[in-house]
Amino acid sequence: MSNLAQHLLDTAERHGDHPALRMDDASLTYAEFRDAASRVAAGLQARGVEPGDRVGMVLPNVLSFPVVFYGALLAGAVVVPMNPLLKAREIEYYLTDSGARLVVAVEPSAQPAAEAAGTVGIEAVTVGAALPEELMGPAGEVTAPVERADGDTAVILYTSGTTGKPKGAELTHAGLTSNARTTEETLLEAGPDDVIMGCLPLFHVFGLTCSLNAGVMAGSCLTLIPRFDGSKALSVVQRDRVTVFEGVPTMFSAMLHAPDRDDHDVSSLRLCVSGGSAMPVEVMRSFEETFGCIVLEGYGLSETSPVASFNHPHAERKPGTIGTPIRGVELRLVDDEGRDVAPGEVGEIAIRGENVMKGYWQRPEDTAQAIPDGWFRSGDLARVDEDGYYAIVDRKKEMIIRGGYNVYPREIEEALYEHPAVAEVACIGIAHPDLGEEVAVAVALKPGASADPDELREFVKARVAAYKYPRHVWLVDALPKGPTGKILRRAVEVPAGVGAR
């Protein structure tokens, strides 16, 4: 029996009266979670959803998300999670591309979801945030999951599509199960006494696997925050005695810079996990010092379910690296022809293992390009040291080539994060008539801090090679971020007049 939803039934059997989900004052025990998900499965079946049919979900981190997600899996459906901030025409693309049978949304996404569904000609169901009652059928009708094979698709996750339209990564029941199991057993080492902070979006693979699915397997409680805020996160850690915090680097920064950060008791925290983008070493050091807990950084992608490598809890931890491959996964560094690079050289991370996607939904050419020889090409450039620890130097696509020299944005950002006034940085390449590209940075300062662009430029100049330092520096109130809080370099706006000289 390979259905991912079986883990919910198993945990409910063992820990039925244990708290499973919480969102402020609303909560569900594992037995209540199972019963509600079973009723969602019955409701979907009554609406004509059959095994293998795609069900769209446009939900933030509210209690209804896990209930609808597991309910759809119990019914044998394939879940297509979407960012609740999407507009109607974006939702329409996902529904059309996936061939969805039905879409489920919660306010305020209900209007765009209904509009998109109307255009596509499918049903949209609007549900409440605390319980998806509008989708729930009678109790007792679905008592076991619909049988699924290991290689059957459980989730189609659309990747952000830096090149063209988003592509749907097909993640299987077996792949998601093994990745959640490895996360739970070897990284989180979680159990029924743990409380996991659910501030990573569940519609994104990091939150889905590492908070929800791993938490369900462990029998832990997941406490949800629908919209992330540093102060709110700290108050939830104190209120619910959170033991495991998982976030992207900007979330760690937000908690670190929260004006009331010293007013909260966060002594319950035993482990923090960072992923999604590279954690600046300075942010990690300050966070550990301020909150008295360790941060383990790891790496993965939507296409790898997501976890591929990690700084493991009982091994040497190397800040600034993404650790070593997890159980069941292999990593190597390759050149453009797919050959191994020489020791110490930068190469593209290639990944093989039980976590790798089946392929891109209905895109055989893209799949063949991404997995030409059984190894998934990540598009990320890294080095590996003599101990087998990998360190990302950058995205292949975001590397700046200035006058024939490679400049990795991450290195410039790391240097700027050492400046006491700097909160967030994005380093980008802008066109230059002679050099091809010039290095430029947008900087957001910490609240109440001050620094001028010339000062920041000189600060970096003192820390990196002459060809690398940014000739263009400008200040912004905030940097553009993706749905998970990751800074989007490609969305940074260059002020008029910059780069023209």
The answer to whether 437 and 431 have CB atoms below 8 angstroms apart is: yes
pLDDT digits (tens, 9 = 90+) for 169-191: 999 999 999 999 999 999 999 99
In order of 25, 75, 403, the CA distances from 52 in angstroms are 35, 9, 52
Residue 155 pLDDT > 90: yes
| pLDDT value of residue 76 | 98
Residues in the chain: 501
Q: Indicate the average pLDDT of the chain.
A: 95
Mean pLDDT of 433-450: 93
Share of the chain above pLDDT 90, in %: 88
| pLDDT value of residue 435 | 86
C-alpha closest to that of 148 among 171, 112, 173: 173
pLDDT digits (tens, 9 = 90+) for 209-257: 999 999 999 999 999 999 999 999 999 999 999 999 999 999 999 999 9
**Longest CA span, the chain:** 71
Mean pLDDT of 445-464: 95
Mean pLDDT of 347-369: 97
Stretch (H or E) spanning 64: helix 64-74
Confidence of residue 165 (pLDDT cuts 50, 70, 90): confident
pLDDT digits (tens, 9 = 90+) for 51-81: 999 999 999 999 999 999 999 999 999 999 9
- DSSP string over 179-221: HHHHIIIIII---TT-EEEE-S-TTSHHIIIIIIIHHHHHT-E
Domains of the chain, by residue range, sit at: 4-18+29-178, 295-395, 400-491
The answer to whether 477 and 444 have CB atoms below 8 angstroms apart is: yes
| pLDDT value of residue 163 | 52
* Euclidean distance between CA atoms 201 and 246, whole angstroms: 11
The pTM of the full predicted model, rounded to 2 decimals, is: 0.90
C-alpha closest to that of 99 among 78, 84, 69: 78
User: How many beta carbons lie within 10 A of that of residue 27, not counting itself?
Assistant: 18
- Domains 4-18+29-178 and 400-491 agree in fold: no
| pLDDT value of residue 144 | 96
Instruction: Return the CATH architecture of domain 295-395.
Output: Roll (2.30)
| pLDDT value of residue 160 | 65
3-state secondary structure of 285: helix
Confidence of residue 455 (pLDDT cuts 50, 70, 90): very high
* Euclidean distance between CA atoms 32 and 439, whole angstroms: 54
Give me the torsion for CA of 401, 407, 409, 411, rounded to 10°. 180
Instruction: Return the CATH architecture of domain 400-491.
Output: 2-Layer Sandwich (3.30)
C-alpha closest to that of 236 among 59, 30, 27: 27
Fold of the domain built from segment(s) 4-18+29-178: Rossmann fold (3.40.50)
Residue 161 pLDDT > 70: no
Cα 162–chain centre separation: 16
Q: What share of the chain is helix, strand, coil (3-state, %, to 5)?
A: 30, 25, 40
Confidence of residue 447 (pLDDT cuts 50, 70, 90): very high
Stretch (H or E) spanning 240: helix 230-240
